[in-house]
Amino acid sequence: MDEYQNYYQLCVVCSVQENEDLEIYIQTLEPLSLSVIPVSKEIVQIQALFFEEKKTPGLTDVSWTVLSEDMWNQPDVVTINGLKLQCPKTVFGHGDHPTTQLCQEILRDCSLTSESHLIDVGTGSGVLSFLAWQRGVSSIEAFDIDPFAIATARQNARDNTIPEEMFSVSDLFDWQPQKKADVLIANLPIDILERAFDRLRDWVILDGLMIVSGLTTTWASQFEASLGPSVSIVKKKILDEWGCYLLKVNF
Ligand SMILES: C[S@@+](CC[C@H](N)C(=O)[O-])C[C@H]1O[C@@H](n2cnc3c(N)ncnc32)[C@H](O)[C@@H]1O
């Protein structure tokens, strides 16, 4: 990577309206040295390798997923707990990110039965749902706002002979559960977690559990202070600069 030291590698995934013309993206972006790769009818992946100081005029209204070098270098197929999972670079869920690892650890400590209902918010590659499935949980609702993530999770389900119907595309601010969860997992960016917290809690049964991850330790005390009496902290785990909570719903 030495010769690339002054470069950023970017990969952007955009969801495109069905009736939108991909040619417009190609005409706008290719002169900026960004290559546009249609992934499906509705999604384009835009890749670039460019100088640190390079400006990207015309890209202000697209939503960016900027990959760190570590993420960029991750393999596209990973094996987790005997499951072979595809995980394209733009999909979160290689299993080795501290926020995912912490969820895995806390999930391992939760008592799950074949009767448990699990909600996995922002499922990414589906990794946490698959681990719960391996523990005997068959009633799972898992969703993600990113259609590319859900296409990946569904492919992973098929590859591992797990029902793919549990995965759907949805924004958590529109979504409603079919039934309340015994265990809810939410590994989400902090700003979304904060805005969505009450909504997420309402999807969990009384005495049910929430695994909340994605908080940096600098945010942890603010997050804890924001929790009212409706939940109590059962466990808190820290890895690198990330914190993850197991919460019990009181009312
Ligand atoms: C940090 S990743 C977690 C992925 C996986 N659950 C894991 O633990 O590795 C967060 C996921 O939340 C999804 N997400 C972000 N905002 C969302 C929203 N409003 N509704 C549903 N999913 C959302 C992202 O697309 C991303 O896949």
Q: Is 88 in the pocket of ligand 1 (CB under 6 A)?
A: no
Residue 216 makes CB contacts below 8 A (sequence gap 6+) with 190, 241, 242, 243
Q: Is 191 in the pocket of ligand 1 (CB under 6 A)?
A: no
**Same domain flag for 115 and 170:** yes
Q: Which protein residue has the closest C-alpha to ligand 1 atom 14?
A: 122
What is the model's pLDDT at position 225? 94
Integer CA distances (angstroms), 190 to 28, 216, 244, in order: 32, 8, 11
Q: What are phi and psi of 85, to 5 degrees?
A: -115, 130
Under the banding of pLDDT at 50, 70 and 90, the label for residue 54 is very low
**Same domain flag for 142 and 224:** yes
**Same domain flag for 170 and 210:** yes
Q: How many Cα atoms are found within 13 Å in the side-chain-facing hemisphere of 48? A: 23
Which of 3-7, 85-89, 155-159, 215-219 is the most confident on average?
155-159
Average pLDDT over residues 223-248: 96
Q: Is 186 in the pocket of ligand 1 (CB under 6 A)?
A: no
Instruction: Report the distance separating Cα 28 and Cα 42, nearest Å.
Output: 17
Q: Is 149 in the pocket of ligand 1 (CB under 6 A)?
A: yes
What is the model's pLDDT at position 145? 87
3-state secondary structure of 182: strand
Position 82 in a domain: no
**Same domain flag for 99 and 186:** yes
Average pLDDT over residues 64-80: 67
**Same domain flag for 114 and 142:** yes
Under the banding of pLDDT at 50, 70 and 90, the label for residue 17 is low
pLDDT in tens, 84-96: 999 887 788 889 8
Position 81 in a domain: no
**Same domain flag for 101 and 212:** yes
**Same domain flag for 210 and 166:** yes
- Of 44, 72, 100, the one marking the end of a domain is 72
54 is in which domain, residue-wise? 2-72
**Same domain flag for 104 and 56:** no
**Same domain flag for 47 and 160:** no
- Of 17, 37, 72, the one marking the end of a domain is 72
What is the model's pLDDT at position 30? 62
What is the model's pLDDT at position 28? 64
Q: Is 74 in the pocket of ligand 1 (CB under 6 A)?
A: no
Under the banding of pLDDT at 50, 70 and 90, the label for residue 63 is very low
Q: Which protein residue has the closest C-alpha to ligand 1 atom 25?
A: 146
When the pLDDT of each residue in the chain is averaged and rounded to a whole number, the result is: 82
Task: Kindly report the number of other CB atoms within 10 A of residue 159's CB atom.
Answer: 14
Integer CA distances (angstroms), 177 to 111, 126, 171, 188, 189, in order: 21, 17, 12, 18, 21
Q: Which protein residue has the closest C-alpha to ligand 1 atom 12?
A: 122
pLDDT in tens, 157-213: 999 999 999 999 999 999 999 999 999 999 998 888 989 999 999 999 999 999 999
Q: Is 103 in the pocket of ligand 1 (CB under 6 A)?
A: yes
- Identify the residue with better confidence: 54 or 64: 64
Domain CATH code at residue 245: 3.40.50.150
Q: Is 90 in the pocket of ligand 1 (CB under 6 A)?
A: no
CA of 185 to the centre of ligand 1 (A): 11
Structurally, how many domains does the chain consist of? 2
